[in-house]
Chain A
Amino acid sequence: MHSVVCIKQVPDSAQIRVHPVTNTIMRQGVPTVINPYDLFAIEEALRLRDRLGGTVTVLTMGPPSAEESLRKALTFGADRAVLLTDRFFAGSDTLATSYALAQALRKIGESWGPPDLVFTGKQTIDGDTAQVGPGIARRLGLNQLTYVAGIDALDLGAGIITVRRRSEGGVQELTTRLPALITMLEGTNEIRRGRVADALRAARAEVTIWNAAQAGITELTLCGLRGSPTVVKRVFAPTARAETAAFIELRDQTPADIAEALLAEITTRLPGIEDELLRHAAGY
Chain B
Amino acid sequence: MSETAKPAPTGRAGMKKQLPDRFKPYRHVWVYVEVEHGAIHPVSLELLGEGRKLADKLGCELAGAIIGGDRAALQDAAVAAWAHGADLVYVTADPILEHYRNEPYTRALTALVETYQPEILLLGATVLGRDLAGSVATTLLTGLTADCTELAIDEERSLAATRPTFGGSLLCTIHTLNVRPQMATIRPRVMALPRPQPGRVGRLVEHPLDLREEDIVTKVLRFLPDRDSGKAQLAYADVVVAGGVGLRSAENLQLVRALAEVLGGEWGGSRPLVQKGWMTADRQIGQTGKTIRPRLYIAAGISGAIQHRVGVEGADLIVAINNDAKAPIFDFAHVGVVADAMEILPALTAAFRRRLSVNRLAG
Contact = CB atoms under 8 A, between A and B. Distances in A.
Interface of A: 11, 13-14, 16-18, 23, 25, 36, 93-95, 98, 123, 125-135, 137-139, 143-144, 146-147, 162, 166-177, 186-187, 228-238, 240-241, 244-248, 250, 254-256, 258-260, 262-263, 265-266, 269-270, 273-274, 276-278, 280-282
Given A130-B134, A169-B37, A247-B337, A270 B317 contact: yes
Given A131-B146, A282-B360, A234 B173 contact: yes
Contact of A175 (B37, B218, B224, B275): B218
B295 A273 contact: yes
Interface of B: 34, 36-37, 41, 99-103, 106, 126-128, 130-131, 133-135, 137-139, 141-147, 160, 164-167, 169-179, 217-226, 232, 238-239, 263-264, 272, 275, 280-281, 287-288, 295-296, 306, 309, 316-317, 319-320, 330-339, 343-344, 346-348, 350-352, 355-356, 359-360, 363
Nearest to B133: A131
B350 to A, nearest CB: 7
A180 B333 CA distance: 46
A202 to B, nearest CB: 25
Closest 10 CB pairs of A and B: A134-B134, A229-B143, A259-B347, A245-B336, A280-B264, A13-B167, A230-B143, A129-B146, A255-B347, A138-B138
B220 A172 contact: yes
Given A131-B133, A138-B135, A231 B335 contact: no
Contacts of A98: 138
A282 B361 CA distance: 11
B103 A235 contact: no
Contacts of B178: 229
Given A263-B355, A277-B239, A95 B337 contact: no
14 contacts: A18-B169, A25-B170, A95-B137, A131-B134, A168-B37, A175-B218, A233-B160, A235-B173, A236-B172, A238-B309, A256-B350, A262-B344, A266-B335, A282-B360
B224 A126 contact: no
A256 B319 CA distance: 17
A53 B292 CA distance: 45
B139 A138 contact: yes
B13 to A, nearest CB: 19
A276 B238 contact: yes
Contacts of B226: 169-171
A177 B263 CA distance: 49
Contacts of A262: 319, 335, 337, 344, 348, 351
Contacts of A134: 102, 130-131, 133-135, 138
Given A238-B309, A250-B338, A266 B173 contact: no
Contact of B347 (A167, A236, A258): A258
A274 B167 CA distance: 37
A135 to B, nearest CB: 4
B360 to A, nearest CB: 6
B109 to A, nearest CB: 13
